[in-house]
Copies of this chain bind each other. A is one copy, B any other.
Amino acid sequence: MLYFIGLGLYPKHLTLEAIDALRRLDKAYIDTYTSIIPGFDKSIIENLVPGEVVEASRSMLEGESITRIVEEARDKNVGIITPGDPFIATTHDAIRIEALKKKIPVKTIHGITIYSLAASATGLQAYRFGKTVTLVYPEAFKPISTIQAIHDNLDRGLHTLLLLDLRLEENRVMTIPEAVEILLDLDERGILGETIAVGAARLGTPGQTIVADRLHSLGDYDYPPPPHSIIVVAKPHPVELEALHYLAGLPYKLYKRYERSRGYP
């Protein structure tokens, strides 16, 4: 059996189902490159897994290595252990398909993910989110399609969850202040700076920091270390507006100005 096991966003997000699965593994590969879990230590896994525990780099879980891992799962319980939920990022899609094609049984143990917390932890309403995008460092190319997706969501009255570039192998992890600078630089319409946005650091963990203000001001706050993300907020619904003030410290002046206009100034 090939298990995909999501750990959630911090160690106490471990589910009873994940603990059961970890206890069955003959071999565990920990994905150490797609995100950061604050407070995570390899020993948490080692204490549960009876078999070998390997800290896996990208090259061990992607490309040609896929076939080898799938073959291992033919007569052993092999687990791929990931931050968040195993399949919210597309990283491990290929290995799941490969296993299914070879008729190796696959079991997914879901985990708590930023994808749902962007709504539930900030007071924004899940059904008012549009397409989610990742903002990458503008190097080889400028991430214009990311800006277009934000604009398109705003035009339709929808919020955008913006995941920030995270390249652990290169020791580069995008922070909220860096992302604000990139967004303002690429925003040819010039509307994003004044738009309300939420800066969320370490969401779902005991040290989570959630800040709401105009996007151009988000870089001025202090945040704990990454993972960081940003939500660009469409015209807030009155209940969302209250949540942004009481839960995320949206400044009183902004709160009142939007409230007077029923959230639609």
A: which residues have CB within 8 A of B? 8, 11-17, 20, 85-90, 93-94, 96-97, 100-101, 108, 110-113, 115-117, 119-121, 123, 125-134, 152, 156, 158, 204, 239, 242-243, 246-247
Q: Are B12 and A100 within 8 A (Cβ)?
A: no
Task: Give the residues in chain B near A87, CB-CB below 8 Å.
Answer: 119-121, 123, 126
Pick the contact of A156: B8, B96, B152 (CB < 8 A).
Answer: B152
Nearest to A133 among chain B residues (CB) is: B127
A243 touches B116 (CB 8 A): no
Residues of the B chain whose Cβ atoms lie less than 8 Å from the Cβ of A125 = 90, 93
Known: A12-B17, A113-B116. 14 other contacts (CB 8 A): A11-B16, A12-B15, A13-B15, A85-B120, A86-B120, A87-B120, A93-B239, A97-B242, A108-B120, A110-B116, A110-B204, A113-B120, A130-B130, A152-B156
The reply to whether B15 and A85 form a contact with Cβ atoms under 8 Å apart is no
A25 to chain B minimum Cβ distance, whole angstroms, is 17
5 shortest A-B CB distances, which residue pairs? A87-B120, A100-B246, A12-B17, A12-B16, A116-B116
CB distance from A2 to the nearest CB of B (A): 13
CA separation between A131 and B239, bound complex, in Å? Answer: 19
How far is it, in angstroms, between the C-alpha of A204 and the C-alpha of B90 when the chains are bound? 18
Report the bound CA distance from A141 to B80 in whole Å. Answer: 48
- Given the complex, which residues of B lie within 8 Å of A128, measured CB to CB? 131
Instruction: Report which of B112, B126, B134 forms a contact with A15, defined as CB distance below 8 A.
Output: B112
Residues of B within 8 A of A121 (CB): 87, 108, 110
A101 to B20, CA, bound (A): 41
* Interchain CB contact under 8 A, A120 and B126: no
Residue in A94, A96, A127 whose Cβ sees the most chain B Cβ within 10 Å: A127
Report whether A101 and B16 are in contact in the complex, using a CB–CB cutoff of 8 Å: no
Chain B residues with CB below 8 A from A110, complex form: 13, 112, 116-117, 120-121, 204
